[in-house]
């Protein structure tokens, strides 16, 4: 079954720039997909449309049965609860500990305290940070901070994990660490992962599905693809 379906999607920004032209796409549940392309190719726009940071100008975007384009601002939270998002800049709260940062995602949606505890510890274990529960983000390395962000994104057991250049700020070694974490999440939890990146090495090593974008057009959608310019 397809978790994501995009049909004839156009995205034109208010400043006149068209980021996506007539995109058709179907992504199966449980897949691990890279979205690659140079800057301005529309990678970020594609990711943003999936969590409704941006609305498509034309066409249909369906994520987990929700029509994103028709989703009212007030109802966006319904979509966001189905997915987790990881950014290049981590976006952690500096005054809260690792545990609190991850728990925050569940507190915000009114989860019970004891359930929060179980889920947070499980998520932190999955990203390999069980021993840093009470540290503050500033005391962690970049790779560790990104793993906290991943833990926060998966703590609510989302069907979909969106990653926008999650390794953009990290050196190759730490990047691979993050990739291993993502791969194990994809395997053990069955979470569908869509990751925008421009890191050739990672894409070539991982041998996952690859969507190649160029100037807003879909160039290729390959199983076990590699990075092609």
Partner 1 sequence: MKLFRMLGRSIRDAVKSVIRNFSLSLASISCITITLIIVAVAIIASLNVQNFTEAIEKDMTIVVFVENDAEKEEVEKIESKIKEIPNVEKYTYQTKQEVKEKMQEESEVFNTVLNNWEDEESPLKDTFQVKVKNVEKIKATAERIGRIEKVSVVRYGEGMVDKMVTAFASVEKVTYGIVIALVLVTVFLIINTIKLTISARKKEIGIMRLVGASNLTIKLPFIIEGMILGLFGSIVPVLITTYGYLAFYKHFDGYLYSKLIQLIQPEPFIYQTALAVIGIGILVGMIGSASAVKRYLKI
Greatest pairwise CA separation for the chain in angstroms: 49
DSSP-assigned states of every residue in 20-60:
EEEEEEEEETT-EEEEE-STTSSHHHHHHHHTTSS--SEEE
Contact criterion met (CB below 8 Å) for 191 and 160: yes
**Count of chain residues binding partner 1 (CB under 8 A):** 21
Q: How far is the CB of 94 from partner 1 (least distance, A)?
A: 9
Q: How far is the CB of 163 from partner 1 (least distance, A)?
A: 13
The reply on whether position 76 binds partner 1 by CB under 8 A is: yes
57 C-beta neighbours (distance < 10 Å), count: 16
Site string for partner 1, 149-168 (x = CB under 8 A): ---x---x------------
Site string for partner 1, 29-58 (x = CB under 8 A): ----------------------x-------
Q: Which of 21, 104, 136, 227 binds partner 1 (CB under 8 A)?
A: 104
Q: What is the DSSP pairing of strand 83-87 with strand 160-164?
A: parallel
The reply on whether position 74 binds partner 1 by CB under 8 A is: yes
Q: How far apart are CA 209 and CA 224, in angstroms?
A: 5
Interacting residue ranges for partner 1, rule: CB under 8 A? 51, 73-74, 76-81, 85, 91, 93, 104-105, 107-110, 112, 152, 156
């Amino acid at each position: 079954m397809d978790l994501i379906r995009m049909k004839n999607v156009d995205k034109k920004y208010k400043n006149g720039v068209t980021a996506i032209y007539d995109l058709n796409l179907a992504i199966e549940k449980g897949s691990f997909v890279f979205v690659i392309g140079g800057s301005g190719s529309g990678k970020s726009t594609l990711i943003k449309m999936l969590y409704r940071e941006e609305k498509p100008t034309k066409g249909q975007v369906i994520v987990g049965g929700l029509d994103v384009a028709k989703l009212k601002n007030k109802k966006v939270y319904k979509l966001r609860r189905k997915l987790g998002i990881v950014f290049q800049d981590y976006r952690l709260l500096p005054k809260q500990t690792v545990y609190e940062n991850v728990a925050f995602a569940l507190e915000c949606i009114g989860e019970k305290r004891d359930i929060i505890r179980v889920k947070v510890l499980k998520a932190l274990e999955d990203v390999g940070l069980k021993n840093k529960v009470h540290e503050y983000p500033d005391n962690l390395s970049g790779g560790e901070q990104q793993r906290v962000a991943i833990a926060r994104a998966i703590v609510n057991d989302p069907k979909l994990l969106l990653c926008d250049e999650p390794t953009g700020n990290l050196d190759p070694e730490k990047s691979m660490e993050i990739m291993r974490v993502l791969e194990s999440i994809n395997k053990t939890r069955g979470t569908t992962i869509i990751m925008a990146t421009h890191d050739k090495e990672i894409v070539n090593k991982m041998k996952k599905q690859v969507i190649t974008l160029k100037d807003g057009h879909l160039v290729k959608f390959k199983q076990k693809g590699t990075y092609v310019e």
